[in-house]
Amino acid sequence: MMSREPASVVEAFLQMSERVPDKLCLRFQGKAMSYAELRRSAEAFAAGLCSWGLRRGERVALWMENSPDFLAAYLSIHLVGGAVVPINTQYRQWELHHILSDAAVRLCFVDEPLRPELAHLERKLPGLELVVETGAPLKRFLIEGQPYRGRLPESEDLALIAYTSGTTGRSKGAMLLHRNLLANIRAISAAWRWTADDHLLLTLPLFHMHGLLVGANGTFVSGGSIELHRDFSVVNVYDALLAGSVTMFFGVPTMYTRLLAEAGRRHEKPPPLRLYVSGSAPLSAQTFVEFEQAFGQHILERYGLTETGMNTTNPYDGDRRPGTVGVPFPGQEARVVHPHTREPLPPDTDGEIEVRGPHVFKGYWNQPEATAECFTADGWFRTGDLGHVSGDGYFTITGRAKELIISGGYNVYPREVEEVLQGCPGVAEVAVVGLPHPELGEQVAAAIVRSDLALTAEEVIAFCRNQLASYKKPRHVVFVDALPRNAMGKIQKYVLSKQLGETLR
Ligand code: MCA
Ligand code: AMP
């Protein structure tokens, strides 16, 4: 049917399903699905979406844990020209309301256990016309046996709105086009030699870029397969590695720390994989070295952002340097500039990292000012990450210009937690910072000036949990008499981090 160069990942997937219909695409909880089977499932979703009346360019949210339905829904929304809005399943009222209203989502697929959380919000979201939960309602929504014969998305069409960067309080929707996703995954597949023989162990959540745009998209365009787990359980992952059929594993550093601890508890060591990849947060040189000692393999570390997908990678062949994030992917550029003058800096000089290329997003949804601010006139995207590049082109991230805590590979914007806690009865002032944590990399800590001295840390944490994803709640709450401020009255976060670090030592 189709012979043109694919304009989207879903088109590449369709071509693959025609070329190798019976090839394994996905295994989940012991059940295998071929390319043709996943395609049929996606077409059943697509027929349901068309019959319901989804129009091209409209947004559909996926608020689901990892499952074949997630992937079928994702492919189907793209098939019919819609834009996917993936939502973290830990999100609660605060994040959900913002994302669903900001993206003007018309339809949301949701896991059945999460349905009640959404029920609270529906009154406030008149634009959300339909919520389809897994189980019987989803079965009724799907229309089986109707191959999709409609138009396919074009490369300039909107593929995804991914919410990120709450530097101004509420997160912004990063608009990624089909051509961004395709260009990035082509570059990744080439750099990592991804082929149809690969079987990827994927335990990362599909609602974030690492799992979806690297793990799933890479499989669909290469013709490989996924061993999909609902979530990361170190015991299950270790067992799957021991079983021997997996060729690649992608994880965040916390997963590698846990795998190392598990290796210490087991007698058997997994056979070598073709590739272990780490990203989303800094992998410590210590974990790199310990992993090599325990598993005999060099983890490949790469660096990405929601707005850009993957930017740099350590080499597949050649020197994987611990503590660095490697070189730009093929066809993409990266450089280090002075944070104020924006002039490119010589090697080994710290500045802000900028990236450019076909993978870089179009801009923030409904936020022209924020979009203009993050791009230079000649198309470089300001990452907000600080670092330097070596004479032979390896990038190292040394810090962040943006206020961001990365805990176990999840991003927490202090401003968002502060806004929620500011609404907690008994809180007069609050400031949130990240402190080092041996397993999570960083952890969330809050300093609070109370207006009600009876307020306890447990109450603060419980208040936060009700409204925000549980991983954003402070693990430490310290009550202080005053927050450290400079002469202008601005809170000095670096002073606070030091103070809190000392208090908790
Ligand atoms: C779970 N909890 C956490 C975290 N995860 N607390 C702090 N930081 C975390 N990362 C809390 C839960 O809220 C819960 O608290 C308790 O731990 C147990 O929850 P559970 O789900 O069982 O946690 P877990 O299985 O231990 O999860 C740890 C994890 C997970 C597997 C490391 O956080 C994870 O999958 N992280 C990967 C995130 C990811 O995909 N990031 C990529 C973003 P309570 O019991 O109190 O409720 S994409 C990106 O960053 C860019 C583009 C890039 O470069 O990739
Ligand atoms: P987000 O786009 O919001 O998912 O998060 C992207 C941020 O994660 C980047 O701006 C970096 O600060 C961080 N990040 C991703 N990969 C790495 C890595 N390998 N090392 C250090 N930081 C990373």
Any atom of ligand 1 within 6 Å of the Cβ of 410: yes
Q: Relative to the alpha carbon of 465, which ligand is closest?
A: 1
The residue-averaged pLDDT of 364-393 equals 96
**DSSP one-letter string for 21-57:** TTSEEEEETTEEEEHHHHHHHHHHHHHHHHHHTPPTT
CA of residue 279 to ligand 2 center, whole Å: 7
For residue 234, name the pLDDT band (cuts at 50, 70, 90): very high
Q: Which domains does the chain have, with CATH numbers?
A: 9-180 (3.40.50.980), 232-400 (3.40.50.12780), 405-504 (3.30.300.30)
Provide the 3-class DSSP secondary structure of residue 59. Answer: strand
pLDDT at 402: 86
pLDDT one-digit tens code per residue, 164-196 = 965 566 799 999 999 999 999 999 999 999 999
Place of tokens 């062949």: 317
> Which pTM was predicted?
0.96
Query: What is the end-to-end Cα distance of the chain in Å, rounded?
Result: 65
pLDDT one-digit tens code per residue, 29-38 = 999 999 999 9
pLDDT at 271: 96
153: its two tokens: 């998305």
Q: Which residues lie closer than 8 Å to 377 by C-beta, 6 or more apart?
A: none
How far, in Å, CA of 404 to CA of 391, rounded?
Answer: 29
The residue-averaged pLDDT of 139-159 equals 97
pLDDT at 168: 60
DSSP collapsed to 3 states, 416-434: HHHHHHHCCCCEEEEEEEE
pLDDT at 274: 97
pLDDT one-digit tens code per residue, 114-143 = 999 998 898 899 899 999 999 999 999 999
Any atom of ligand 1 within 6 Å of the Cβ of 204: yes
Q: Relative to the alpha carbon of 461, which ligand is closest?
A: 1
Nearest residue to 229 via CA among 41, 29, 23, 433: 29
Nearest residue to 103 via CA among 162, 176, 168: 162
Any atom of ligand 1 within 6 Å of the Cβ of 163: no
Q: Which of 163, 232, 325, 471 to mutate to test the pocket of ligand 1 (most atoms within 8 A of CB)?
A: 471
pLDDT at 1: 53
For residue 46, name the pLDDT band (cuts at 50, 70, 90): very high
pLDDT at 143: 98
